[in-house]
Amino acid sequence: MVKKNAGKNKEKPKKRAKKAGKKEGPKKPLSGFMFFSQERRKTLKEEKPELKITEASVHIGAEWKKLTDADKEPYQKLAREDKERYEAEKQKFESAEEKKNDRDEGSGDEEEKEEESAEDSD
């Protein structure tokens, strides 16, 4: 019996391109769940040091679902504050970027004008 794939070249899966370093700009805000998760992971690790990270994440997610809105409120408040921080930093970053781009564009325009005037005089 002949195998269907006999003799065919087996292609290796393509490698993924590496990401281009650190992204510029402010760090994104954390959600209420992430604040809860950071806090709870520390205590859970002390209670059950044998748990793997994935297993701990499952436990933490289940605990978050069981919390009432009142119990989640302190973490949601932290998330709102972090979002305000992010918005302020983002606005500051974008205005700095605009100023940087304006300076870069401004210097390029002067060079172009000089080149055009040199060509016109020839």
- pLDDT tens-digit profile, the chain (122 residues): 555 665 555 666 677 766 666 678 899 999 999 999 999 999 999 999 999 999 999 999 999 999 999 999 999 999 999 999 999 999 999 998 888 887 777 655 555 555 555 555 54
- Length reported for the chain: 122
Count of domains in the chain? 1
Which residues, including other chains, have CB under 8 Å from residue 78's CB and lie 6 or more apart?
30, 32, 35
Backbone angles phi, psi at 93, to 5 degrees: -65, -45
Q: What is the dihedral of CA 79, 82, 88, 93, to 10 degrees?
A: -120
Residue 117 to residue 97: CA distance in whole angstroms: 30
State both tokens at 1. Answer: 């019996």
Is 48 inside any structural domain?
yes
pLDDT at residue 57 in the model: 95
Is 9 inside any structural domain?
no
Is 86 inside any structural domain?
yes
Residues 72-92 pLDDT 10s: 999 999 999 999 999 999 999
Is 42 inside any structural domain?
yes
Q: Say if residues 90 and 24 touch (Cβ distance below 8 Å).
A: no
Determine whether 43 is exposed, middle or buried from the number of CB atoms within 10 Å of its CB (0-12, 13-18, 19+): exposed
Is 72 inside any structural domain?
yes
CATH number of the domain where residue 41 is located: 1.10.30
Residue 30 to residue 41: CA distance in whole angstroms: 15
pTM for this predicted structure: 0.64
Range of the domain at 41: 32-115
Is 81 inside any structural domain?
yes
pLDDT at residue 60 in the model: 96
pLDDT at residue 36 in the model: 97
Is 75 inside any structural domain?
yes
Name the DSSP letter for residue 52: -
